[in-house]
Amino acid sequence: MLEEVLGFLEPPRPESLMLDCTLGEGGHAEAFLGRYPGLRYLGLDADPEIQAKARERLAPFAGRVEFRLGYFDELLAAMGEGGEPAPRPDLVLFDLGVSMHHFVEAGRGFAYSSDEPLDMRLSPEAPRSAAELLAEEGEEEIARVIFEYGEERLSRRIARAIVEARRSGPVATSGRLAELVRAAVPPSYRHGRIHPATRTFQALRIAVNDELGRAERGIARAAGLLAPGGTMAVISFHSLEDRIVKRLFRALAGKAIPGSIPGPAEPIPQVGGAGSFELVTKKPVEPSGEEAARNPASRSAKLRVIRKLGDDVAAGPAGAGRR
Ligand SMILES: C[S@@+](CC[C@H](N)C(=O)[O-])C[C@H]1O[C@@H](n2cnc3c(N)ncnc32)[C@H](O)[C@@H]1O
């Protein structure tokens, strides 16, 4: 959704600062830096391998790009601490989730179609791998993770199969996990539109990297840092993420949160007064039919955009979400 993002995020000044919380391989960064010759860019990513790729790709823009390595919620929380002034970006972008690099090249077991160590950590600093989670947790907790983060209705059956399988040796590779999920589900499920292990893999990745908690804390913190008049765009890839973005944006804009959306896990952090916001997109923007056909991985993407009207104008948004 590059064109859509470019359309919504227009720098208000030639030397505006853009904060890209999920720099990845630098695809969005390259497009923005190429289009706006005065734009300054701050790119965050948890993954050192992917950051090295972005550094190479963005070398032509040296002097205008700064890189920070770490989980974005932690990096954003530390900004403005220790006497350093916090950046006040005019533009903020979150393109949540993982990149093709993780599925195809990383060798960390993100894909059910490969046989690699079952790691799934975006950052080597993350406390434990997916294999360790499956070795250490009980059947109940494994089922909860698969149900909540994978929205997998056969979570109990899959968790039972994992716990039985680990008695004969650790579930330590993506190949072994994919095979045992396949064997655990009924034959009808094996011939569905997606591989039967798709949801289980998504769930583990989310749990290992605390993706939902980090998204919630990171987006809230970035909203506080955003300069008055600034715009923030968030692209999510599954309904769990989109629900978080929708809820946070509505709370920031002082709108009622629909009953179908659960309240925030934590109160929305107040950062020097979160300020007042307006929703730029009332409904999420989805990829065009042409883009979805060209890039099937983009099919489930949803883009939401919010604008900050001013700092401290309304104290309301913080904690405005239902608990
Ligand atoms: C979908 S990719 C971004 C692609 C990027 N917009 C581009 O154009 O190349 C998401 C990136 O965010 C990173 N990421 C995901 N969650 C993160 C988090 N909580 N903190 C920091 N980086 C994160 C991943 O490592 C991945 O590189």
* 132 assigned to some structural domain: yes
Q: Could you tell me if 238 and 157 lie in one domain?
A: no
* 139 assigned to some structural domain: yes
Torsional class of 83: left (φ above 0), alpha (ψ -120 to 50), beta (otherwise): left
* 292 assigned to some structural domain: no
Q: Could you tell me if 313 and 234 lie in one domain?
A: yes
Taking the centre of ligand 1 as the mean of its atom positions, its distance from the CA of residue 81, in whole angstroms, is: 24
Hey, what amino acid is at 301?
Answer: A
Q: Could you tell me if 214 and 167 lie in one domain?
A: no
* 297 assigned to some structural domain: no
Q: Which domain holds residue 277?
A: 1-18+36-41+83-88+210-281+307-323
Query: What is the per-residue pLDDT across 88-100, written as a single tens digit (0 to 9) for each?
Result: 999 999 999 999 8
pLDDT higher than threshold 60 for residue 55:
yes
| Pocket mutation for ligand 1, best pick of 45, 56, 94, 236 (most atoms within 8 Å of C-beta) | 45
Query: What is the per-residue pLDDT across 244-272, written as a single tens digit (0 to 9) for each?
Result: 999 999 989 988 766 655 555 555 544 44
CA-nearest residue, atom 16 of ligand 1 = 97
CATH number of the structural domain spanning residue 181: 1.10.150.170
Query: Which of residues 287 and 256 earns the better pLDDT score?
Result: 287
* 66 assigned to some structural domain: no
Query: Which of residues 268 and 114 earns the better pLDDT score?
Result: 114
Q: Is 162 helix (H, G, I), strand (E, B) or coil?
A: helix
pLDDT in the model for residue 259: 60
pLDDT in the model for residue 34: 98
Taking the centre of ligand 1 as the mean of its atom positions, its distance from the CA of residue 42, in whole angstroms, is: 13
Last residue of a domain, one of 208, 231, 255: 208
Taking the centre of ligand 1 as the mean of its atom positions, its distance from the CA of residue 94, in whole angstroms, is: 8
pLDDT in the model for residue 318: 41
Query: What is the per-residue pLDDT across 67-110, written as a single tens digit (0 to 9) for each?
Result: 999 999 999 999 988 888 899 999 999 999 999 889 888 899 99
Q: Could you tell me if 113 and 185 lie in one domain?
A: yes
Last residue of a domain, one of 190, 208, 226: 208
Q: Could you tell me if 181 and 222 lie in one domain?
A: no
Query: What is the per-residue pLDDT across 268-285, written as a single tens digit (0 to 9) for each?
Result: 544 444 568 999 999 999
* 51 assigned to some structural domain: no
Query: What is the per-residue pLDDT across 155-209, written as a single tens digit (0 to 9) for each?
Result: 999 999 999 999 999 999 999 999 999 999 988 887 777 889 999 999 999 999 9
Q: Could you tell me if 202 and 244 lie in one domain?
A: no
| Pocket mutation for ligand 1, best pick of 9, 22, 96, 240 (most atoms within 8 Å of C-beta) | 22
Query: What is the per-residue pLDDT across 194-227, written as a single tens digit (0 to 9) for each?
Result: 889 999 999 999 999 999 999 999 999 999 999 9
- Total number of domains constituting the chain: 2
Last residue of a domain, one of 208, 232, 256: 208
Q: Could you tell me if 127 and 181 lie in one domain?
A: yes
Taking the centre of ligand 1 as the mean of its atom positions, its distance from the CA of residue 265, in whole angstroms, is: 22
pLDDT in the model for residue 317: 39
Pairing verdict, β 91-95 and 231-236: parallel
Mean pLDDT over each residue of the chain, to the nearest integer: 89
Which one, of 276, 247, 235, lies nearest residue 96 by Cα? 235
- Note the pTM of the prediction, 2 decimals: 0.91
Contact predicate 73/221, CB 8 Å: yes
Helix pair angle (198-208, 211-225), 10° resolution: 50
Q: 305: exposed, middle or buried (C-beta count within 10 Å: 0-12, 13-18, 19+)?
A: buried
